[in-house]
Amino acid sequence: MFTAVRIANSVKVLISNEYNVNYSRLLQFFNLNELPNYLCRNRFVELWSWSQIRLMTTSKRVQDRSQFKRVQDLELATEKWKVAHKVLFLIETLKEEPEMIIPVRNLERYRRKINLPKPHRISDFIRKSPEMFELYKDQRGVLWCGLTKQADDLVEEENKIVEQHADKVAEYVTRFLMMSVNKRLPVDKIAHFRRDFGLPLDFRAKWVKNYPELFRVVKSEDECEYLELVSWNPAWAVTELEKKFMGATESTATHTPGLLSLPFPLKFPSNYKKMYRYRGKIDQFQKRSYLSPYADASGLKAGSLEFDKRAIAVMHELLSFTMEKRLVTDHLTHFRQELVMPQKLMRLLLKHVGIFYVSERGKRFSVFLTEAYEGPELIDKCPLVLWKEKVLSHVGYRAKKKKIKTFNDMSEMEEDNNLLLADDDSEQDMEDTGCSEETSLDANTVDMETRDRHFG
């Protein structure tokens, strides 16, 4: 009833003026299922579509919350990792090919994956990285893409790093399972975090079977695969925050997770002047005890202060596991049920800007752990992050000093005390990825016999 009245009030003038229809009849349609039929009978198809869009966008989105509240350093970090994702995805695609080469036309199916809208050509994107990718034609004139010798060496280096750190990654995956309600998670959902955790390409087929003492793959009645915890490790039920404040002790071997009173590290933008207004609320929040992410949260009431603060602890722990100390928010929200987190997770992230920063740069939002960054750079870089930066140095990436709106101390805060809310920014096209355009690679017709490395 309420929705039908809202529709009638929002369009009544347009209905009266343009279609000469008594808009008061719309109030009869308390059931929205009947309203489209009425609108169609009165030639209101377009009007109905417009009303639907208006209804879906009335809630406050990240883009609409504020106009001058962005942190330039972390936006630049987002841009850097966005470029890295495009290049690394192409490398992984080639690694999955038997000869590590692929016809360029076959890459068309991955346009959405690398966010390459038409009319941009796949071959033009590849030509921007001549140190990493080769383009050449076979005797039939088919254009192929492969890795250069330099890229081959980088791939081998990555494989060694992944292998060397496999045990640590297995620990993070196990702790992830330990935080879940049923001590198991869908394999499909964990796969979303593969690149963030540093899992290998064969994560599903082989890697999960390498640690039978930690976890195992089980199938549910609906044939869905789950990764299930095999044994609880008390020493791993200690949060990264606890380790930072207390250090490693012998007591962790028998540690039992429970209430925590540790404050979260806060890092506000240097030009943010209004923090003192909320000092009292921040102190009150920091002093409030909360349940460890590894403790049983079934007794917490959804929406309570304790419930929300535990959710913050869970997100803090998950972000601490990742290489870049950042995650795509879509992937994070997939685990609301398994990790006992609130439905309005984005609002919680936005509210606690000192702990998290949400960037909406591009089509997908990213959340950063602010304490892990100094300016646009990670403070502690794991070997895989250093490897990614090496790859970026070979694709001609240069961080551009783009004009990015930042905190404006004259702007007022939201009534719900959201300390940071981001504005809208459309996805940059491939011409603005930061890849060097000064160098290019021509596609040369080559003799098949001189390409033994690629064509055997």
pLDDT tens track for 218-232: 998 888 999 999 999
Give the residue extent of every domain in the chain. 2-58
DSSP code, position 20: -
pLDDT digits (tens, 9 = 90+) for 152-172: 999 999 999 999 999 999 999
Alpha-carbon radius of gyration of the chain: 26
Q: Which residues contact 242 (CB under 8 A, 6 or more apart)?
A: 260, 262
Higher pLDDT, 344 or 58: 344
Q: What is the dihedral of CA 215, 217, 219, 225, to 10 degrees?
A: 110
DSSP code, position 137: E
| Alpha-carbon span 62 to 422, nearest angstrom | 6
**Look-up of token digits 């929040």:** 285
Q: Are residues 236 and 174 in contact, defined by beta-carbon separation less than 8 angstroms?
A: yes
Question: Average pLDDT in the 276-302 region?
Answer: 89
* Positive or negative torsion for Cα 339, 343, 347, 351: negative
State percent of the chain over pLDDT 70. Answer: 68
Q: What does residue 444 show for φ and ψ, rounded to 5 degrees?
A: -105, 145
Q: How far is CA 433 from CA 89, 94, 116, 301, 397, in A?
A: 15, 21, 11, 45, 8
Q: What is the distance of C-alpha 50 from the center of its chain?
A: 30
Higher pLDDT, 384 or 78: 384
| Alpha-carbon span 42 to 25, nearest angstrom | 12
Q: What is the pLDDT of residue 360?
A: 81
Give the three-state DSSP class for 184. strand
Q: Is the pLDDT reported for residue 380 higher than 90?
A: yes
Q: Are residues 348 and 103 in contact, defined by beta-carbon separation less than 8 angstroms?
A: no
Pairing of the two strands 143-147 and 101-103: antiparallel
Q: What is the pLDDT of residue 142?
A: 92
| Alpha-carbon span 159 to 92, nearest angstrom | 12
Record the tokens describing residue 154, joined without a space: 């980088």
| Alpha-carbon span 177 to 77, nearest angstrom | 29
* Positive or negative torsion for Cα 243, 246, 247, 251: negative
pLDDT digits (tens, 9 = 90+) for 40-84: 444 443 444 434 433 333 334 555 545 456 788 888 888 888 888
Interhelix angle 2-14/45-56, rounded to 10 degrees, is 130
Q: What is the pLDDT of residue 368?
A: 95
Q: What is the pLDDT of residue 278?
A: 77
224 strand-pairing partners: none
DSSP code, position 357: E
Q: Is the pLDDT reported for residue 11 higher than 60?
A: no
| Alpha-carbon span 180 to 232, nearest angstrom | 12
Q: Is the pLDDT reported for residue 333 higher than 90?
A: no
Please state the pTM of the whole predicted model: 0.72
Q: Order across the sheet with 366-369: list the strands.
A: 326-328, 366-369, 356-359
What does pLDDT average to over the chain? Answer: 76
Which amino acid, one-letter code, is at 448?
M
| Alpha-carbon span 295 to 303, nearest angstrom | 18
CB atoms within 10 A of CB 342: 14
| Alpha-carbon span 348 to 324, nearest angstrom | 21
Q: Is the pLDDT reported for residue 452 higher than 50?
A: no
Q: What is the pLDDT of residue 252?
A: 65
CB atoms within 10 A of CB 293: 27
Residues shown for the chain: 456
Give the three-state DSSP class for 366. strand
Q: What is the pLDDT of residue 362?
A: 67
7 strand-pairing partners: none
Q: Which residues contact 399 (CB under 8 A, 6 or more apart)?
A: 76, 79, 80, 376, 434
Q: Which residues contact 245 (CB under 8 A, 6 or more apart)?
A: 262
Of the pLDDT bands very low, low, confident and very high (cuts 50, 70, 90), residue 134 is very high
* Positive or negative torsion for Cα 130, 132, 137, 139: positive
Q: How far is CA 57 from CA 52, 53, 61, in A?
A: 9, 6, 8
